[in-house]
Structure 1
Amino acid sequence: MKLTLFIVLGLACVAYGQKVGTQTPEVHLSLSMENCESGSCTTESTKIVLDSNWRWTHVVDDYVNCYEGNTWSPEFCPDSVTCTENCAIDGVDDASWSGTYGVTTTGFELTLQFVTEGPYSTNIGSRVYLLADDNNYRVFYLKNREFIIDVDSSELPCGLNEAGAAYGVGYCDAQCPHDMKFIGGMANCDDWEPSDNDPNSGAGKMGICCFEMDIWEANSMAQSFTPHDCSITGYYPCEGIECGDNPDDRYSGVCDKDGCDWAAYRLNQKEFFGPGLTVDSSQPITLVTQFITSDGTDNGDLVEVRRIYIQNGVTIQNTQVDFDGITPYDSVSDDYCSEIKDFFGDVQAFAEKGGMKALGESLDRGHVLVMSLWDDHYSHMLWLDSNWPLDADPATPGIARGPCPIDSGVPSEVEAEYPDATVKFSNIKIGPIQSY
């Protein structure tokens, strides 16, 4: 059975701007976390906010849509400036969280449902951010810290992943996405091209870039964690070659789209993660991610990102690279990234963009927690859980990334067959190294 869902728990920079509608009151769901940085743990009354891309976009002070399906209204959005003046994003009320978007919380736990049949449309997936309060994102400073979260992806058999913080605007990542409806407070409607295989999405002229630390990209069959560097700082709107969009320009952009991934299956450890394996994906998993510095202080350079798993009270150390002639690394470091990319024949983009030191400098500036569930209309998530690229020999090291078949992951099939698929994130915690 094939389920193309994708979970990403990432840390991405965020910025904001643009108009707020008044037709629906905004409600933020409570999702508490623990802060253990002082040596003892205290509960923070944090909340979640829905990403602006999922929100109703309409004419200011009216109920007329500015964006419908995967196209902008030519009447209200003939260009970015006019559209920004005419249009607003609206709130998400209590009923809409679960009834429209399939998102619920209780105490320390968040649940995201894949397909939700709402009163006006069918919603696919979701993306939410953690808030410190109703008007500010909860910013994490992770250097010389560890980030802990429980994840239950047992229901995901293969493949499935001027409004301000109060309205979930400002998403960015190292892929410099063009599908964001608003970038830097402006409508991204110029040169907008509706997707030919996604009825809800498209791509505009502008992309939006920033550093990205993927804590968890996974389903029940495969997983990875991946830092991505950029040559810029903060929230950076891009256009053309700077975005690195097409294959010829992929490595000419301002961000490292590949990142330096740690994926057990791709590293030839095919019995480490999955149902019934060493890390058993049929059960909840506690993820401990440590950001280790050169001198063990907050001021040192970042030199290592280390992963530890906990299940049923048992601590499981990360597995090692398992290729002849390759150092058996068990964490992400500059040496690991350099050696494994040479071995796989990958471009050394992570090192070229500054490596671990640059990532540490981004962590010093602060990142925001993003939790999402989505399917992949571009590559059907094969880059995560199958063979990728498809024209390469799967026997070549680095091509096999998971056990899923290469014809799996078609979004229309997944959405029809597994609408009730869910993922749960819970017990978010930040603290000193080895506080787990």
Structure 2
Amino acid sequence: MPGFWIRALSAASALALTVPAVAVQVRVEELSAPPSAPLLKLQQSLREARASGSVRVYSAGRSLEGRNIPLVVLSPTGRPSLPPVRVLIICAQHGDEPASVEAISDIIRHCASGRDPSELLTPSVRKGSGGLTGLEDVLWIIVPAANPDGLQAGRRSNSAGADINRDWRARIQPETRAVKQAFARWAPHMVLDLHQWSPDDPPPADNGLEMAAAPGRTNSMERALAGRALPAVRATGRSVSLISSRPGADPTLAHRYFASTGAVSFLIETAARSAPDERRQMLKDLVLLLSDAAGRTRAPGWEEALKGTPAGAAAASFHYPAEYREWVASRDGGGPGGSEDPLSDPRLWAAAALGLCLAVMRTRQGEARPVRGRTAGGRVSPVRGRPWGFGVGSSTARRVPRYEMARGCAPLLKKALRAAASPAENMPYGPRSRPASIRPVVSTAGTGNR
């Protein structure tokens, strides 16, 4: 009998390494062409973040060329939680602006590891910030590469030649529809759209923060958040302007579209004359400081600020997806240091069931053992020596083929495998030849012809 249990455990262990995980976590797709430098850095960051166990990576959709558009859900503290304030961060709508992808890759990798997010700030900004305690009440919903085709090719437009940051009124392109789907699903309070000026842009092309007018409310919340974030940056000698969208400004830009729903929305631009490292650092500083200011505002302040708007109604009625809540509960609030309950993993049960069946079949070698003594002629279980159930006392020795044992184990095995392959709460990841389906979402955020 010791050999039986050794074989059972060996089979279960081997299977646990081969059974795929529940289809919630998605990998960044590597197409036939080698990824560009920003995409490669993003892929590496997402792999490291996923390995930490403190981040969820979903698929928001697919680009025209079939590339995955990742959606990263992350707590800045690295501890899985259900915070009251949600911030949507959009990067690389323009494929020739890689600074946002590189900056957010650093942020994802650093925060997923559980390290102090204030370590990412410029040293002098960190000293004057007083700590980023507001981040404990924030959840980031990050689209790190909204235009992966353009990012791969190093061009501004997507593969159809469209500027997706001029598509937010019609939302014809799949990239804008994917980001809108994420906005509707997670009902964020604030949206940050990250960009960079290019050398051929007209002056001043400097660091800037633009807030869009929101119908039905003033920009008092935007001014309050910027008032908390910008002084620390300006104290380092760097200039950052705060401007408002002009009346009649193009409404097809992302930050103006999201503002039309009532959400607090900022466009962040980095200076054309800045070096690449300076651009990345500016984006990190502004993302962290604005997110910290959003967290310090707390839920009641946000409820009051967004009252009477579609985005405010969506945020007030928001409930975290069941899959995400279950994942947070399984982490025991431990972040990278926590551990999931191994008994809650359906892969373990599937592996154990199949391993047990394989071990039984190998032990029996195609036939049952005869019962010794008064029940001779019957058959016994190889585990406990009890009658197998083929009519105790039968005068005819009976063989039990392997397929009968497999058939007996099949219901238990199928049930375990069905649990292991249960559909994800969010959008599933599909092969390039068959785009992943997107679950329709009903939301009041962003509806209406504005």
TM-score interval w.r.t. the shorter chain?
under 0.3
Q: Which has the higher strand share?
A: 1
Q: Could you say which structure has the larger radius of gyration?
A: 2
Q: Which has the higher helix share?
A: 2
Question: What's the TM-score, normalizing by structure 2?
Answer: 0.25
Question: What's the TM-score, normalizing by structure 1?
Answer: 0.25
- Structure number with the bigger relative contact order (C-alpha 8 A, sep ≥ 6) is 1
